[in-house]
Amino acid sequence: MKKAFILGGTGFLGYYTAKELLARGYKVTEISLPPTPAPDLFPAEVESHLGDIQTYTDEQIFQLLDGVYAFIYAAGADERICPEAPAATFFYKANVLSVQRIARLARQAGVKKFVLFNSYFSHFAEQWPELNLRKQAYPRTRLLQEEVAMLEGGKDMAVMSLRLPYIFGVMPGRTPLWTMFVEQVRGKETVYVPQGGTAMVTAKQVAEAAAGAVEYGEHEGRYAICDTNMKYLEFYQYMVEALGQTDTTQLVPAPIEAFKPAMAEHDETVGKAGKEHGIHLAVTADIQGRDAYLDPNDTLPILKINRDDVVASIKETLEVCAHAQH
């Protein structure tokens, strides 16, 4: 029985990945920051640890990784965080330095497969050079995170990156992150919606992608996964339905010019407060004016990810968001 280790196993994606690996016959160990979101989150056969692995000594990490075949890195800071400026320094420390050390120690411990949960902003930073996303702190450091992890790998340890889009699903003890978006629609008579769209998957598919990367991925593989591409207008319509506001809320598609001035002003306000978004909101407006779409056939067959009912997962997720305490 091969042993898999998950960093961030009690997180949303780590939880689904642990379940998938168990179903495939792996012995699963995980470590997460306290507290555990729900009692009895995992069956007894999962070996769970609570703690900050970044504070562990090298020797302590070697002990955790004894006999581990595959490491799943399901941790890090995402673009919703607005840290102290410069944002690049924050994301470099949170996502680049941390993964570099862990990947190096994993290789030294004899780990053979290392899967990094990354972002589809890495993909679009490459695909849309005219937006200069490589100059934005979050995509810039996400690209660097992939690079340093892969440089720590090689013939002794294959390193793969999953470039993840919008993800839907629910789990015990955690309120979906989409609650913050639902609250922006709650009680509104008119909601202006960006004209673009985005790629989407379910959390179960992310878990299948992680296991698929372990079993079928190649070193330095950068896999931008997708099941469904959807316009924001359709997505917002599902929010309106979950809130029971179909007859009271009008969704109005609007060009980026309708959003960009206010978002640029917010960037300036945030800057005066000594903070900086990982992707400036004015740039986010440019992104949301486009279709950030991916081709499912580029990665699903390679990693053997099953198609899923993304719309059903969206509805389930938004239903939980709509009834969350607010």
- Span 71-91, pLDDT tens digits: 999 999 999 999 999 999 999
- The answer as to whether 12 is a domain residue is yes
CATH at residue 64: 3.40.50.720
Phi and psi angles of residue 103, each rounded to the nearest 5 degrees, phi first: -65, -40
pTM over 0.75: yes
Matching residue, tokens 């896999």: 223
Residues 1-50 pLDDT 10s: 999 999 999 999 999 999 999 999 999 999 999 999 999 999 999 999 99
Alpha helices by DSSP H, listed for 32-172, are: 58-64, 87-91, 98-108, 120-127, 137-152
- The answer as to whether 276 is a domain residue is no
- The answer as to whether 14 is a domain residue is yes
- The answer as to whether 40 is a domain residue is yes
Q: Which helix (H) or strand (E) holds 159?
A: strand 158-164
What percent of the chain stands above pLDDT 70?
99
Nearest to 88 by CA among 139, 151, 54, 125: 139
Look at the chain and report how many structural domains it folds into: 1
Q: How far is CA 131 from CA 80, 128, 282, 284, in A?
A: 19, 6, 11, 10
- The answer as to whether 147 is a domain residue is yes
Residues 248-288 pLDDT 10s: 999 999 999 988 999 999 999 999 999 999 999 999 999 99
Is the pLDDT at 95 greater than 90? The verdict is: yes
For residue 129, give its domain range: 3-166+199-227+294-301
Nearest to 30 by CA among 60, 62, 67, 74: 74
- The answer as to whether 113 is a domain residue is yes
What percent of the chain stands above pLDDT 90?
98
- The answer as to whether 52 is a domain residue is yes
- The answer as to whether 312 is a domain residue is no
Question: By the 8 A CB rule, do 256 and 231 touch?
Answer: no
